[in-house]
Amino acid sequence: MAKVDEFYERAGQLAQTKGVTINIVSIEGDECNIDSLSKLSELTGGNVERVNPTTLTSNFSNILSVPTIATNVVTKVKLHKGLQFRNEVAANLSDDRSLLVRDLGNVNESSTFTFEYTLKAIAELVQMDDIDLTQLKSFPFQA
């Protein structure tokens, strides 16, 4: 990871722990490193806006009109042992991979949280002593 990326990662994490939302406003046609800068907004629940200089005032108004409704938000999802998460960072999963913990930071009315899950392989389910596949009608999960 480049030093610039490390800096923005640390700055974003600090802002997140303090409940600060960082919005990035980039002027169309400039040469800013939006890939590195966007990490700040991702970590803090902010937005990235590329704006035309002639509409800068209205874009700032739009950004400021979306209030933060919660800070330091952590979401947890617990799956049934017959299910497994897909496409998740291993660091966000418990040792048995049945609990997903994701730090969302600041959230507003347009914040979203998504995750994917799938059924474990049938061969794996058959080997589980405490699951009777003939009786199982659903796989619950908790959020």
DSSP 4: H
Instruction: Inform me whether the pLDDT recorded for 86 exceeds 80.
Output: yes
Model confidence at 1, pLDDT cuts 50, 70, 90, reads low
> Higher model confidence: residue 28 or residue 79?
79
Model confidence at 59, pLDDT cuts 50, 70, 90, reads low
- Average pLDDT (110-124) is 88
Residue 8 backbone dihedrals phi, psi, to 5 degrees: -65, -35
Q: What DSSP line would sit under 52-111, residue for residue?
A: -GGGHHHHHHHHHTS---EEEEEEEEEE-TTEEEES--GGGB-TTS-EEEEEEEEE-TT-
Model pTM above 0.85: no
